Amino acid sequence: MISPETPPDERPADVYYYGTCLVDLFYPEAGLSGIRLLEREGVRVVYPQGQTCCGQPAYNSGYSSEARAVARSQIERFSRPWPVVVPSGSCAGMMKHYYPSLFDGDPFLERALEFAGRIHELTSFLVRVLRVRLVDRGEPARVTWHTSCHALREMGIRDEPASLLAQLERVEVIPLARESECCGFGGTFAVRHPEISAAMVEDKAAAVAATGAPTLLSGDGGCLLNIAGRLEATGQRVRPVHIAQFLWERTRAR
């Protein structure tokens, strides 16, 4: 893993938004909410329509030449020196930590490193760079929070989501048992080892249900899709929501 330099946390005028393929297809409202949250802080958001997927599915499956081709096409579409904000710890981790290694020994490495150095996960960007102050306009609510493995271990996102939720006066966060344990998604893992993946998501969904919170929040589309699928299949009335959408819905002016 070649780690790029992280630039100083200056408040920028423009940012790129990297929606990610899962948000694009399954959670577009969450994606748009992330854009709104950034715009409200006075930042101009640019969403390149040429973006597709970070390439992680191919990379994690061992198909690095395919991942490299896709990675290159993404980097080329984010060429201005603006921060790239990503509503997913997993895709952010891929672009920040593994893009450079994909181009190890390649003349394109310099660009990959430069790009990787501009990657920010959304909640971290809101807290650390924009230092947002949220005003809660919603009804009292109880939620539980699932952290994504890659947000936690690749992007080092530990306190940021909690600190955002703590700004919402009428939101109570019920701790999830074994919060840092994987939900069992793992991309193609869920297909290659369906029974093990199922055992993992069963336990995660049961832990979510046991909190009694009617809303499950997460910052990653993959985890949400996985846990939501299990909750729905077992008839649990828990609403899975991306944290970007939750924050926007509760704080937007009405």
Applying the rule CB under 8 A, the residues between 205 and 244 that interact with another protein are 225-226, 229-230, 232-233
Cα(130)–Cα(76) distance, rounded to whole angstroms?
26
Instruction: Report the residue from 181, 209, 239, 249 that binds another protein according to the rule CB under 8 A.
Output: 181
Instruction: Report the residue from 4, 31, 161, 240 that binds another protein according to the rule CB under 8 A.
Output: 31
- Does 197 sit near another protein (CB under 8 A)? yes
Cα(132)–Cα(83) distance, rounded to whole angstroms?
17
CB of 140 to another protein, least distance (A): 28
Cα(98)–Cα(248) distance, rounded to whole angstroms?
30
Tokens of 175: 């701790």
Query: DSSP class of residue 175?
Result: P
Q: Would you say 249 and 33 are in contact if contact means Cβ atoms under 8 Å apart?
A: yes
**Stretch touching another protein by CB under 8 A, among 3-11, 24-32, 120-128, 242-250:** 24-32
**Stretch touching another protein by CB under 8 A, among 47-55, 107-115, 117-125, 131-139:** 47-55
Instruction: Report the residue from 2, 9, 41, 60 that binds another protein according to the rule CB under 8 A.
Output: 60
Cα(16)–Cα(126) distance, rounded to whole angstroms?
14
Instruction: Report the residue from 4, 12, 35, 43 that binds another protein according to the rule CB under 8 A.
Output: 35
Tokens of 15: 């940012």
CB of 202 to another protein, least distance (A): 7
Binders of another protein among 113-132, rule CB under 8 A? none
Indicate the helix (H) or strand (E) that contains 123. helix 122-124
* 70 vs 243, beta carbon nearer another protein: 70
Cα(86)–Cα(242) distance, rounded to whole angstroms?
13
